[in-house]
Amino acid sequence: MKKPLLHQWLATLEGKKFASICSEYILAFRSPCIMPEHILLTLLEDENALEPFATCMPVIDDISYRTRDYLSQLPLARHICDEMTGEFAQRFWDRIRAIGEEAGLQNPTSDMFYYVLLQEDDSFAQEILRHYGFVLEDLHSAIVKGVPYHLADLNAPAPKKDGEAAQNGVPEELASLLIELVQVAKDGKMDPLIGRRKEVEELMQTLNRKKKSAPVLLGAPGVGKTAVVEGLAWLVSRGEVPPTMANLRIYALQTGALVAGASLLGEFEQRMQNLLKFIESSPDNVLFLDELQGFMGIGPNGPRSESGSATNLIKPEIASGRLRVIAATTDDDYRKTIALDKAFARRFHPIHILAPSQDETLEILLGLEDAYFQYHGVHFPEPLLKRIISLTERYIPQRFLPDKAIDIMDVVGAKYRLHRNDSQANQAPVATDADVEEAVSKAANLPSIPSAQGENDDFAGLANLEERLKAVVFGQENAIREVARAIRIAKCGLLSERAGTIGNFFFSGPSGVGKTELARQLASVLEVKLIRFDMSEYSTEQMVTRFVGSAPGLVGYDEGGQLTNAVRDCPHCVLLLDEVEKAHYLVHSLLLQVMDNGTLTDSRGIQTDFHNVILIMTGNVGCTEASAKSSRLGFGTSPNAPVDPDIIAAQFRRAFSPEFRARLTAHVIFSPLGLPEVEHIVEAKFARLAKLAKSRNFHITMSPEARTDIAQRAMAQNQGARPVDRILEQEVTSVLAQLMVDGKSRRTLTVVLQDGKVVLQQG
Amino acid sequence: MANQPNHTTKVTTTVRTERELRPPQMYDVVLYNDNVTTMEFVVALLMTVFEYDREAAVSKMLQIHHSTSQVIATYPKTVAEYKKQEAEAFKTEWGYPYCRLEIVPHGGEAHP
């Protein structure tokens, strides 16, 4: 028996302690004999044996818990042997001795215990150790080499990142908080700087100030504030900066990581102090706070608390000039959060970043083309980039260049990248106009955008606008001509100053002559949405607030206005305001600025753009008077006799203020419908019904007499063409439906006039 | 474990392969019938080593008597080994060397 070494160890204090804890576990779980799990639990209780878990301490509790759980599920034994004897114990010590001899060690180490436990087949200990990542071979080589074994840490940063951090001299505890932009640029992971030299120059000047060397970049979202800072880093990485800036290091702060996990009192402050100390350790270090508003008020005591917040900690550092900071935020957020803290705001030097012009944006896109080609594998030729810019300017006016244009480029590229076919890899595809149009229409929430080539896209649907409208709206040639003319002029850009909407129309005319219908058909011909408001709902002063949103402090303030929300969601539309004369006069004054400037500001102060809206207002002001007068004059009693436009115009002048009338593109007067027109309408509506019936295999036709009868009866009701629907439904559609349900009828039917009544005749 | 920095997105992906935690294989202790060993010894063995009460031990013994072999207990591997060792010692003590005990994986193939 060659056990002396091991016996020696078991006789030491350490060994005795081990044996006694182990037997305590055997007794505690009332196991019949020693098992590998008891040894594992004993190991986990020894601090010196926990080294493998150095990087993932929580695992220890997990293993311990699960092992105890396993042991407690086994049946309790009546006879318990709490000594380290038996076949297993024998095998265990034999293996310990074997590995000890291999490693040339006299005393067993904890790694050896883990190693031998891992060798114990069909045991829970082996299973759970494997589960948590112990690898027998790795453990073996670690023991033989005499180095402590460590479980691979799954949450640890990749080794390469550690290397980078070490190079830049960022202390380990700050490595996750900071990204060094110059290094990123050196690694070639940053897009090049195009244009923006003036802004970068100003940025560098401010950074070189003796005190308050803290520029804050202000600009609308998407104009490229972050890009300016990245551009500076890019220039530094290429050595294209004055010598004083050559060694600049720009550290972008991950604001979220600053607070994350700071669970102890003072931990956050400690991090801030470490951060500031590090940044101030070299005059070449600059801290970059993107989205400065997110940095405001963060601190251990929650947002907006004064004491100990991050802003208070860096304020004095900026003022003294020890800390160099670049911040970036939007104008809005600057006003709302940063400017409120006057002491903080005055320590920054604002630099305004304006959106680049279309030409500058084109230059930027051309510069980015290569980077996007590398990533997406699709080319964007210059004409296409121009088109992206013009389309986004036209259809997404609420966002800013260059961001919106780059967005479209990225969306199109992503589509190609997703469906990339590797077999065609030798020939890179080129993005097409259609891709861009699709992406823009999705971004602008439009069903489709005109796909005409080049600069002519405004004229799509305009060429035969009049004909197409006449085909669907009957008897209003005059009105259609007026509307088509005005829209043509506006869309061709021939108005001296295009400040307001595309066109402001007022349709007057008696009820049911097709005012609303024309608006609806115009929208469908121009392929834009129709947004309809019934203005009789806005007849009181209180309701007017719904249009642009409630005043601050009132319920519904956050929701914005119904009109402004609708138009902002869908900026290209036909906006139909029905029965305008019934609305409160305040609504009229609201509409004045829409017609004149094309903007409306809601109660929250958000501007809505109306430049792509065709505004159509309808009303039947003056029509009653006009028709009454004409009938009194004795031109027959027909209520559909032609109305006198002069009378309507006079009434219109009385109902609306001069400034309102002056802003209209056209006041279109709809004439009442005559019998031929109404017959036309009956025919058109019947044709629609016949088409539906045909899909059910019923062929229906209509005799001319029946048509005339329906038209006459509809006209007799003095409601324009509106009764046509009702008569058709009552006398034809319902009968037809009954026949269909009965299933006895023949499949060919004719609508005829029989004894002064409209009936369906079979055959 | 594969740490591959993705050059285009600055994101490092760590692939973690985790094995499912399975309950370990259990082992059956099988006692074979023979014509030499007395019923009293088998009952005593079951009661002392395998912690049967008298009634269960007698009925188990009869089951063995009327068949070739029976599973008398199921344990984790180390316990099964220990119990077999204990039973062997018990056999020697009582002088019944022909009584045959085996350990087989639980749920495995039929015993020979």
Among chain A residues, the shortest Cα distance to B12 is held by A158
> What are the chain A neighbours of B105 within 8 Å (beta carbons)?
122
Distance in angstroms (rounded) separating the CA atoms of residues A139 and B84 = 32
Chosen from B82, B101, B106 to mutate, greatest number of chain A CBs within 10 A: B82
Model pLDDT, residue B28: 92
Cross-chain residue pair B77–A122, CB shorter than 8 Å: yes
pLDDT band at A422 (very low <50, low <70, confident <90, very high): low
Among chain B residues, the shortest Cα distance to A86 is held by B82
> What are the chain A neighbours of B23 within 8 Å (beta carbons)?
70, 124, 127
| A413 touches B: beta carbon within 8 Å | no
> What are the chain A neighbours of B78 within 8 Å (beta carbons)?
33-36, 86-88, 120, 123
Cross-chain residue pair A87–B85, CB shorter than 8 Å: yes
Per-residue pLDDT tens digits for A447-462: 666 554 444 445 556 7
What 3-state DSSP class applies to A111? helix
Interior/surface letters B41-71, b for 16+ CB within 10 angstroms, e for the rest: bbbbbbbbbbbbeeeebbebbeebeeeebbe
Q: Which of A33, A124, A152 sits opposite B24 (nearest CB)?
A: A124
For residues A303-318, average pLDDT: 69
DSSP B57-102: HHHHHHHHHTSSEEEEEEEEHHHHHHHHHHHHHHHHHHT-TT--EE
Is residue A304 within 8 Å of residue A267, measured between CB atoms?
A: no
Cross-chain residue pair A124–B23, CB shorter than 8 Å: yes
Cross-chain residue pair B18–A161, CB shorter than 8 Å: no
Cross-chain residue pair A33–B25, CB shorter than 8 Å: no
Phi, psi torsion values for A608, nearest 5 degrees: -115, 135
Task: Tell me: pLDDT of A398 over 80.
Answer: no
Cross-chain residue pair B24–A127, CB shorter than 8 Å: yes
| B105 DSSP β-pair partners | B27
Q: Which residue has the higher pLDDT, A681 or A559?
A: A681
Max mean pLDDT range (A177-191, A288-302, A404-418): A404-418
Cross-chain residue pair B51–A120, CB shorter than 8 Å: no
Task: Tell me: pLDDT of A159 over 60.
Answer: no
Model pLDDT, residue A154: 52
B24 min Cα distance to partner chain A (Å): 5
| A157 touches B: beta carbon within 8 Å | yes
Task: Tell me: pLDDT of A564 over 60.
Answer: yes
Domain range summary for chain B, segments of one domain joined by +: 23-105
> What are the chain B neighbours of A127 within 8 Å (beta carbons)?
21-24
For residues A668-677, average pLDDT: 82
> What are the chain B neighbours of A371 within 8 Å (beta carbons)?
none
Q: Is the peptide bond before A402 cis (omega within 30 degrees of 0)?
A: yes
Task: Tell me: pLDDT of A1 over 70.
Answer: no
Q: How far is CA A493 from CA A108, A455, A490, A748, in A?
A: 91, 12, 5, 53
Among chain A residues, the shortest Cα distance to B21 is held by A131
> What single-letter amino acid sits at A202?
E
> What are the chain B neighbours of A160 within 8 Å (beta carbons)?
3, 5, 12
| A163 touches B: beta carbon within 8 Å | no
ipTM more than 0.85?
A: no
Percent of chain A with pLDDT over 90: 2
Cross-chain residue pair A86–B82, CB shorter than 8 Å: yes
pLDDT band at A675 (very low <50, low <70, confident <90, very high): confident
Instruction: Indicate the average pLDDT of chain A.
Output: 80
Cβ neighbours around A277 below 10 Å, total: 12
A533 min Cα distance to partner chain B (Å): 48
| A425 touches B: beta carbon within 8 Å | no
Cross-chain residue pair A35–B12, CB shorter than 8 Å: no
> What are the chain A neighbours of B87 within 8 Å (beta carbons)?
none
| A128 touches B: beta carbon within 8 Å | yes
> Domain spanning B23-105: which CATH class is it, in words?
alpha beta
Model pLDDT, residue A204: 87
Model pLDDT, residue B12: 63
For A312, the token pair is 């208070």
Q: Counting one residue from A and one from B, how many pairs have CB atoms under 8 Å apart?
A: 78
Residues with Cβ within 8 Å of A179's Cβ and at least 6 positions away in sequence, in order, are: A251, A252, A254
| A617 DSSP β-pair partners | A506, A577
Q: Which residue segments constitute the domains of chain A, with CATH numbers given?
A: 4-145 (1.10.1780.10), 159-352 (3.40.50.300), 358-448 (1.10.8.60), 465-669 (3.40.50.300), 675-762 (1.10.8.60)
Cβ neighbours around A315 below 10 Å, total: 17
Chosen from B3, B50, B78, B101 to mutate, greatest number of chain A CBs within 10 A: B78
Distance in angstroms (rounded) separating the CA atoms of residues A328 and A325 = 10
Q: How far is CA A627 from CA A518, A531, A620, in A?
A: 22, 30, 11
Cross-chain residue pair B3–A158, CB shorter than 8 Å: yes
Among chain B residues, the shortest Cα distance to A133 is held by B18
Is residue A379 within 8 Å of residue A431, measured between CB atoms?
A: yes
**HSE (side-chain half, CA atoms, 13 Å) at A111:** 23
* Least confident residue range of A86-100, A498-512, A574-588, B77-91: A498-512
Q: Which of A79, A81, A159 sits opposite B51 (nearest CB)?
A: A79
Q: Which residue has the higher pLDDT, A498 or A664?
A: A664
Interior/surface letters B20-30, b for 16+ CB within 10 angstroms, e for the rest: eeeebebbbbb
Cross-chain residue pair A122–B16, CB shorter than 8 Å: no
pLDDT band at A153 (very low <50, low <70, confident <90, very high): low
Cross-chain residue pair B24–A131, CB shorter than 8 Å: no
Residues with Cβ within 8 Å of A704's Cβ and at least 6 positions away in sequence, in order, are: none
For residues A295-311, average pLDDT: 63
> What single-letter amino acid sits at A273?
Q
Model pLDDT, residue B60: 92
Q: Which of B10, B12, B78 sits opposite A123 (nearest CB)?
A: B78
For residues B90-95, average pLDDT: 90
Percent of chain A with pLDDT over 70: 87
Q: How far is CA A33 from CA A113, A558, A567, in A?
A: 18, 71, 80
